[in-house]
Amino acid sequence: MKLYDLPASPNARRVRIFLAEKGLEIPMLPVNMMTGENQTEDYLKKNSLGRMPLLELDDGSYISESVAICRYFEEMQPSPALMGSGALESATIEMWQRRMEFEFILPIISIFRHTADMWKGRFVQIPQVAEQERISVMARMEWLDKELIGKQFIAGDNYTVADITAQCAFVMAKAALGIRIPEELENLSDWWARVSTRPTARA
């Protein structure tokens, strides 16, 4: 088994943190997107969309999509549960995971793609999209701050995949876009202090 990794990618980091929380170590193979390693015939046979992360299993199967890879490990090693157990808990965590994905990680990646030099020429950049997404992300931080009232973690009392998604979004927002969690959003700032100091946060 091995994981094709893209070290700077927030989606790849989601899987790395998930594995670290499970205490699992998988051989990692970094793929260099800048030199087009992910667009070679060989790599496209593994993942026809040319993306990372990608899990290669010993039977020759491949799983792409960060959350699908997380699902694989959750099923293989249920403890500690990061995707919940039972109908209501699993569904609640999935709801929050998806909210963090749609409200934060997708628009933050979109701002980056529409503005970063590394995407010039690889992608039709529309600066107005980045402007709108930035407004939306700031508004959603205020929303999330209110949603965190009385909660330790995004989906409730336990640390879950929803926190991992949000964490990876905010790491990218700060590092690549200079977007920080405003100090006056106290619940969100407290949550950030809790998750960013976990031993797995730098995975």
Q: Which x/- pattern over 120-139 shows residues binding a copy of itself (rule: CB under 8 A)?
A: ----x-x-xx--x-------
* 79 binding a copy of itself? (CB under 8 A): no
Q: CA-to-CA distance for 133 and 110, rounded, in angstroms?
A: 8
* 113 binding a copy of itself? (CB under 8 A): no
Phi, psi angle pair for 58, to nearest 5°: -65, -20
Q: Answer for the pair 69, 55: CB distance below 8 angstroms, yes or no.
A: yes
Question: Dihedral (C-alpha) 86, 87, 90, 95: value to the nearest 10 degrees?
Answer: -160
Least separation in angstroms between CB 127 and a copy of itself? 10
Q: Which two tokens stand for residue 168?
A: 């990876």
* 72 binding a copy of itself? (CB under 8 A): yes
Interface pick for a copy of itself out of 16, 22, 99, 134 (rule CB under 8 A): 99
Q: Which residue has the tokens 């500690």?
A: 80
Interface pick for a copy of itself out of 67, 141, 154, 172 (rule CB under 8 A): 67
Whether omega for the bond prior to residue 107 falls within 30 degrees of 0, making it cis, is: no
Query: Which residues lie near a copy of itself (CB under 8 A)?
Result: 48-49, 57, 61, 63-65, 67-69, 71-73, 75-76, 86-88, 90-92, 94-95, 98-99, 103, 124, 126, 128-129, 132, 143, 146-147
